């Protein structure tokens, strides 16, 4: 067998009867490496894989992920594994939210890294009413703490991002003209509406709002992505008894008939998915820190009613002894909890702002 040099090939090719081709590793100049053991075959980018751990509470799954594959496939596979829906969870890497179109390469995922999964809470249909004895043109600015992002607003106005020195990170401003029948004309859009609507998704991983000091003492920090329901601050009822109790409580908090009806019918489908319900109303001062509301000119009364609730199984009811007993108390105690002046809230001679909203808390999944 003879080796044919490259420069001889053109002259000899016409005389050859057979050719044997032997492949081998190309030679590398010794000066470029310290030893042959340093030479590693290169894996094409489309075939490179890393191992990534996806963790939700104490439930972890390891995935092999190619660099160019969008991570939405990992999200979908993980949610299928734990029996959930992608929209219910938020995936993050070192505190940064992973978008559906991200890849391991685009966000810098390394072999052995971990993706953290947290439940996504939704602030459902908070609505804002303005009532005045005479027509008033008012500015209504709603801001959100970093724990929340607007997911929907109506009438639609631009979502602004305040400067970094601000405690909140998103805000919207409506300009409205109050009407004698309680309706509003939104002046930016020209729309006639019964109320101003907003909805927000939580941002898991964001720090809780700072606790403010009031004359009466410290104000509870309401963190939307870690809303607290326990045996001391809640009531627990079987679903069959929730709506009568809820109507009485909302009436005690000064909500008019339309507001109570809208509140209950909006949340009823979510409530009916459970056997029992634990719920509480958040103190106004705490809620204000998570969603500051500024109305100009200043109203005589601002009443903001925000409910947080979760399902409770029959087996878990025994763990809520105080909350179960509290149902027998007069519902007027919620006025003190929330900080509502019912008489002024219903006084038609005053310029009043009334808001209601709520959020279902999804407790940690159990393996």
* Predicted pLDDT at 26: 43
| Peptide bond between residue 157 and the one before it cis (omega within 30 degrees of 0) | no
* Predicted pLDDT at 213: 44
Q: Are 342 and 106 in contact (CB under 8 A)?
A: no
Q: Map tokens 């990992």 to a residue.
A: 74
Q: How far apart are the first and last CA of the chain?
A: 68
- The Cα angle at residue 210 between residues 205 and 214, in degrees rounded to 5: 155
Quick one: which of 154, 157, 168, 163 has its CA closest to 197? 154
Please report the sign of the dihedral spanned by the C-alpha atoms of residue 90, residue 92, residue 96, residue 99.
Answer: negative
Mean pLDDT of 65-78: 87
> Is 34 a residue whose pLDDT tops 50?
no
φ, ψ dihedrals at 128, nearest 5°: -120, 125
Start-end of H helices in 202-328: 242-252, 257-271, 284-290, 321-326
Residues 123-150 pLDDT 10s: 567 999 999 999 999 999 999 998 888 9
**Complete domains list, the chain, with CATH:** 48-119 (3.10.20.90), 122-360 (no CATH)
DSSP type of residue 296: E
> Is 182 a residue whose pLDDT tops 70?
yes
Q: Are 149 and 142 in contact (CB under 8 A)?
A: no
Q: Are 224 and 111 in contact (CB under 8 A)?
A: no
Q: Label residue 352 by pLDDT band (50, 70, 90).
A: very high
Q: Map tokens 């009822």 to a residue.
A: 237
What is each CA distance from 269 to 23, 87, 98, 344, 360, in whole angstroms?
Answer: 70, 18, 30, 32, 12
Residues 233-268 pLDDT 10s: 999 999 999 999 999 999 999 999 999 999 999 999
Looking at per-residue confidence, does 349 or 209 come out higher? 349
Q: Which two tokens stand for residue 264?
A: 């209950």
Residues 76-120 pLDDT 10s: 888 888 777 666 677 888 867 787 788 888 888 889 999 888 766
Between CA 79 and CA 82 the distance in angstroms is 5
Q: Map tokens 């993706």 to a residue.
A: 115
What is each CA distance from 7 to 20, 24, 25, 85, 275, in whole angstroms?
Answer: 18, 20, 21, 65, 86
Residues 292-323 pLDDT 10s: 999 999 999 999 999 999 999 999 999 999 99
> Is 173 a residue whose pLDDT tops 70?
yes
Contacts of 332 (CB under 8 A, 6+ apart): 252
The whole-chain average pLDDT of the chain stands at 83
Within 10 Å of residue 71's Cβ, how many Cβ atoms?
A: 24
The whole-model pTM stands at 0.71
Distance of CA 168 to the CA centre of its chain: 15
**Least confidently predicted of 42-56, 92-106, 188-202:** 42-56
The H or E element spanning position 50 is strand 49-56
Mean pLDDT of 207-233: 68
Within 10 Å of residue 10's Cβ, how many Cβ atoms?
A: 8
Alpha-carbon dihedral angle through residues 158, 161, 166, 167, given to the nearest 10 degrees:
80
Q: Which two tokens stand for residue 80?
A: 């299928």
Between CA 170 and CA 148 the distance in angstroms is 8
């Amino acid at each position: 067998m003879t080796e044919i040099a490259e420069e001889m090939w053109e002259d000899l090719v016409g005389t050859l009867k057979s050719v044997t081709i032997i492949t081998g590793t190309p030679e590398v100049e010794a000066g470029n490496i310290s030893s042959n053991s340093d030479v590693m075959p290169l894996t094409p980018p489309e075939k490179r894989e890393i191992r990534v751990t996806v963790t939700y509470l104490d439930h972890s799954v390891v995935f092999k992920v190619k660099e160019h594959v969008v991570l939405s496939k990992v999200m979908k596979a993980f949610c299928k594994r734990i029996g959930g829906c992608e929209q219910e969870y938020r995936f993050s890497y070192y505190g940064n939210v992973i978008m559906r179109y991200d890849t391991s390469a685009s966000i810098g995922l390394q072999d052995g890294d971990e993706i953290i999964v947290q439940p996504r809470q939704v602030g459902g249909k908070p609505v804002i009413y303005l009532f005045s004895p005479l027509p008033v043109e008012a500015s209504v600015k709603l801001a959100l703490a970093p724990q929340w992002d607007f997911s929907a607003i109506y009438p639609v106005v631009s979502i602004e991002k305040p400067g970094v020195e601000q405690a909140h990170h998103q805000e919207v401003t409506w300009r409205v003209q109050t009407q004698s029948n309680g309706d509003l004309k939104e002046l930016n859009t020209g729309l006639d509406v019964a109320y101003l609507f907003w909805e927000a998704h939580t941002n898991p991983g964001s720090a809780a709002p700072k606790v403010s000091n009031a004359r009466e003492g410290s104000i509870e920090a309401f963190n939307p992505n870690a809303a607290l329901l326990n045996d001391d601050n809640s009531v627990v009822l079987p679903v069959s008894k929730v709506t009568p109790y809820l109507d009485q409580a909302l009436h005690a908090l000064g909500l008019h008939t339309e507001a109570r009806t809208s509140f209950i019918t909006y949340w009823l489908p979510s409530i009916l998915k459970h056997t029992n319900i634990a719920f509480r109303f958040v103190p106004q001062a705490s809620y204000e820190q998570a969603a500051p509301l500024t109305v100009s000119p200043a109203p005589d009364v601002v009443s903001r009613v925000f409910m947080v609730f979760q399902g409770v199984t029959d087996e878990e009811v025994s763990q809520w002894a105080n909350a179960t007993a509290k149902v027998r108390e007069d519902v007027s105690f919620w006025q003190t909890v929330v900080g509502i002046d019912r008489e002024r809230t219903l006084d038609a001679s005053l310029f009043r702002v009334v808001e209601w909203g709520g959020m279902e808390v999804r407790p940690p999944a159990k393996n």
